Amino acid sequence: MEAPSFSSFEFDTNRPLQTQLQHQLTQWICSGRLPPGTRLPSSRRLAAELSISRNTVTIVLEQLKSEGFLQSIQGKGVYVAADLPQNINRPSTVHWHNRGGLPELSAFGQTLNKTPLLEHSEILPFTPGIPDLSSFPHKTWLQIQRRHQDRINLMGYDGNQGYEPLRESLAEYLKLSRGVLCKPAQIIITQGAQQAISLCAQLLLNEGDSVLVENPGYMGARKAFLARRAKLISCPMNDNGVDIDAMQRDHIIAQTSPKLMYVTPTHQYPLGGILTASQRLKLLDWAATHNTWLIEDDYDSEFHYFHKPIAALQGMAEQTPVIYMGSFSKTLYPALRLGYLVVPEALVKVFVQGKSFMGGESPLLTQAVVADFINEGHFVRHLRKMRLLYQAKWQHLNHLLNHQLKKPVRPIQQSAGMHLAIEIPGVDDQKLKQNLQQKGFGSSALSSYYNDQPTKTGLVLGFANTTRYQREAGIEALKSLL
């Protein structure tokens, strides 16, 4: 079989001819336009027909031979390889076209496919979870980074547990600041909080296990448990957060015997309640009695403004079933993607294995910079500075909310953290959030933090990354919308 004319090849003068010729010939072969067994013209004739150099043609033909698209037959010429499947790219003969699609997703994949995708929106004033990015000490950071930048032992593969000097600095910091009792060997560095919760879900839960979550609570945790096909049970709540007395009386909890509980005792997310020491001890007791893992998410305990935060659950008793987690997203910045777990010694191995199976080592250079940032005192200094800054912002926002908005719209007051939740009874808070966004301000709808039917509506306002002017303008905008 002789080849058709090649004169319809079109070349783009901005790209290498060789690449283009190779691509076009391959496409013609794959599409069946040059079927197996077709004889090609000689390189001289082909070069003339295409008005390109013979050298280019020869190189491409050699490449296609080495790839198995073409074959030389001694004394006869160059042919499209006879053993190629016919018409690979012709829709009419390709099976997946006939069956109308790709293979199936997993059951989990199918569920996700039905879940609406949360639009990723840009950071606006009042977007929750964002620290004051303009106060980050870039200069110090860069100085430390330059020291480590070309260290060859920070360029290879990390052990899955995380960079040891960082785990050492963290163990010391967590002991002093949060009363966490741990050795560096109990710390697992993770890629932010989501991977930390996800690892717990995979390693501690079987499909269908029950998990007790705060309601309202942190959406990211719910997602990680749903990804493990767990059953979510809402925990009864009071102003302090989870209501341990009500938990003990709860029939659903008694019947489902939750395998794990996810809790934010130091600053309930998003309402801001704080469990007292006695409630913490009761919670530990409850977990021990019910043989339930506790994940203690200590996500913003660094920012309490009038007292030191209450010590972490993890350190209140020995041998507790507590897995403590935190991240540098709030204390440094989110895009660092660095978090940590403190696990009981008996669980270290399985978490390190889990990371090696699921993926998720963190860049070594970043870990080394954070370790020095802590060791050299910059971290504590930065936190002290941010605490004062956020306290002033909190007071200002609180004042605005109390004076600018009409009752019963009020902050659900807690003097901590980087956000304020405000209750706005009977409002369509999703709509309100969208309207506020159109005016250039971020927020989250309070109803979106609930597992089920929300019992409160309102907004969550992140204030850490706002200026005085933005707070005033934002509350003005909110006022006009209510």
Please report, as residue ranges, which positions from 194 to 213 form the binding site for a second copy (by CB under 8 A).
194-198, 202-207, 209
In sequence order, what are the beta bridge partners of 77? 73
Nearer to a second copy, 192 or 236 (CB): 192
Query: Out of 352, 405, 473, 481, which residue is the one contacting a second copy (CB under 8 A)?
Result: 352
Binding mask 408-427 for a second copy (x = CB under 8 A): --------------------
Q: Which CB atom, from 293 or from 400, has the smaller least distance to a second copy?
A: 293
CB atoms within 10 A of CB 422: 21
Closer by beta carbon to a second copy, 351 or else 394: 351
Minimal distance in Å, beta carbon 109 to a second copy?
4
The residues in 83-112 that bind a second copy, with binding defined as CB under 8 A, are 83-85, 88-89, 91, 94-97, 99, 101-109, 112
In whole angstroms, give the CA distance from residue 294 to residue 357.
Answer: 23
How many CB atoms are located within 10 Å of the residue 314 CB?
A: 25
Least distance in angstroms from the C-beta of 154 to a second copy: 6
State the sign of the Cα–Cα–Cα–Cα dihedral 175, 181, 185, 187. Answer: negative
232 is written with which tokens?
A: 């979510």
Verify binding: residue 357, a second copy, rule CB under 8 A. Answer: yes
Residues in 122-181 that interact with a second copy by CB under 8 A: 122-123, 127, 129-130, 133-134, 136, 138, 141-142, 146, 149-150, 152-160, 176, 179
Residues 79 and 86: their CA atoms lie apart, in Å, by 15
Minimum CB separation of residue 34 from a second copy in Å reads 12
267-279: burial string, b at 16+ Cβ within 10 Å, e else: bbbbbbbbbeeeb
Q: Residue 182 interacts with a second copy (CB under 8 A)?
A: no
Interacting positions 371-400 with a second copy (CB under 8 A)? none
Among 76, 251, 307, 407, the residue binding a second copy under the rule CB under 8 A is 307
Q: Of the listed pieces 37-45, 360-368, 382-390, 402-410, which binds a second copy according to CB under 8 A?
A: 360-368
72 lines the binding site for a second copy (CB under 8 A): no
Query: Of the candidates 25, 27, 30, which has an alpha carbon nearest to the alpha carbon of residue 89?
Result: 30
Contacts of 145 (CB under 8 A, 6+ apart): 365, 369
Q: How far apart are CA 9 and CA 366, in angstroms?
A: 50
Site for a second copy in 3-62 (CB under 8 A): 15, 19, 22-23, 26, 29-30, 62
Binding mask 253-292 for a second copy (x = CB under 8 A): ------xx---------------xxxx-xx-xx--xx-xx
Q: Which is nearer to a second copy, 123 or 388 (CB)?
A: 123
Minimum CB distance to a second copy smaller for 202 or for 398: 202
Q: How far is CA 347 from CA 196, 197, 285, 288, 318, in A?
A: 14, 15, 20, 17, 15
DSSP state of 226: H
CA distance 346 to 340: 17
Q: What angle do CA 470, 336, 353 make, to 5 degrees?
A: 140
Restricting to residues 228-247, name those near a second copy by CB under 8 A: none
Q: Which of 262, 269, 293, 463 binds a second copy (CB under 8 A)?
A: 293
For the four alpha carbons of 246, 288, 348 and 343, in that order, the dihedral sign comes to positive
Q: Is 190 in the site for a second copy (CB under 8 A)?
A: yes
Q: Which two tokens stand for residue 408?
A: 């019963």
**Min dist. Cβ of residue 408 to a second copy (A):** 28
Give least dist CB 467 to a second copy, A.
Answer: 13
Q: Are 445 and 127 in contact (CB under 8 A)?
A: no
Q: How far apart, in whole angstroms, are the C-alpha atoms of residue 244 and residue 247?
A: 5
When asked if residue 73 is in the footprint of a second copy (CB under 8 A), the reply is no
Nearer of residues 236 and 442 to a second copy, judged by Cβ: 442
CB closer to a second copy, 350 vs 481: 350
Rounded to a whole number of angstroms, the minimum distance from the CB of residue 365 to a second copy is 6
Could you give the C-alpha distances from 86 to 9, 29, 63, 82, 444, in angstroms and in order?
Answer: 22, 9, 21, 9, 56
- Closer residue to a second copy, CB minimum distance, 235 or 400: 235
For a second copy, which stretch binds (CB under 8 A), given 5-13, 80-88, 377-385, 400-408? 80-88
Environment class of residue 207 by beta-carbon count within 10 Å: exposed (0-12), middle (13-18) or buried (19+)?
exposed
Query: Site for a second copy (CB under 8 A): which residue of 17, 50, 365, 473?
Result: 365
For residues 203 and 421, which CB has a smaller minimum distance to a second copy in the complex?
A: 203
